[in-house]
Structure 1
Amino acid sequence: MLKLTVIVILFISSVKSDGDDHDNGHSLFDKYDSDHNGVLGKSEFSTLFMGFDAWPEDHRVSEHEFVNGWTSRNSQLSEPGSVTLFFFRTDLDGDRVITQNDINTLFSMFDENGNTSVSRQEFCDAFSAMYYAIDKC
């Protein structure tokens, strides 16, 4: 049943209307670039995902925490069904929680040039490829 749900979510997410009013990747990047230096360090990148860890803070983000957190903080990027897809794509080891291990792996995937920071363009390229949510960068 879970596989069917994921397939349906993937399908819904891939069928986007042309008039979507999604925010762009640069705005999302800027929201989490807390020191405004034009790159996301590991800590800033981690905050984008691990910041949804709600009470009790256990350094693990459940699907429920992720969906609620993402929807409340990034509503402009919250198509119906797409937030659950974001969760499953971020939970890289498939254990149904997002941990720092998932984020460390994800950071390495986003950091295309391996310089231990994620530039605005790297973020936009990788986020668009992984999550299909950013229409323009």
Structure 2
Amino acid sequence: MLKGIAVVLVAVFAFVVCDNHLFRNADIDMDGHLVESEFDMIFDHWDRNNDSRVSEYEFAEGWRMDDWDDDVNAVLEFHLFDVNDDGYIQDVPDLRHLFKTFDNNGDGQISASEFRYTWDSLFED
């Protein structure tokens, strides 16, 4: 029982570290908010061949290189982010849709709490 609880706690901690890391690295001006160009940088990080889109392979490879969680979650996340199911995460329509999803109050920027709330909700059953 304690081992199961420990596994859950480690998984939760990994997701919190992951979302905080992503947000901090993207918040270039360190104002505590992401505008669209900063949000896009999160995904640019995974665009290994610089073709302005992220394939499932690039995303999973980047996820692994960043040492986040397991490969299964990388594939699940990719398919959540690829909103039009074309096999790529790209600016239109994927990132524009995702930005609006993360911008919970619709003010045109994503606060750290909005980012954390939305990121965490992606992993809920």
Structure with the bigger percentage of helix: 2
Q: Does 1:59 align with 2:52?
A: yes
Checking the alignment, whether the CA contact within 8 Å between 1:50 and 1:98 is kept in structure 2 is: no
Cα RMSD over matched residues? 1.8
Q: Which amino acid aligns with 1:43?
A: S
| Aligned mates of 1:23, 1:89 — CA distance in 2 | 16
Question: Which digits, 9 at most, give the CA deviation of each residue in 1:15-67, with x for residues without a partner?
Answer: x9323141523343212212111001111111111321122x22111100111
> What is the TM-score with the length of structure 1 in the denominator?
0.75
Larger relative contact order (C-alpha < 8 A, sep ≥ 6)? 1
> What is the TM-score with the length of structure 2 in the denominator?
0.81
Match of 1:103 in 2: 95
Q: Which amino acid aligns with 1:98?
A: I
How many residues of Structure 1 are paired with residues of Structure 2 in the alignment? 114
Match of 2:32 in 1: 38
- Give the unaligned 5+ runs of structure 1: 1-15, 133-137
3-state SS of 2:70 partner: coil
Checking the alignment, whether the CA contact within 8 Å between 2:64 and 2:70 is kept in structure 1 is: no
| Aligned mates of 2:42, 2:89 — CA distance in 1 | 12
Query: Share of identical aligned residues, percent?
Result: 31
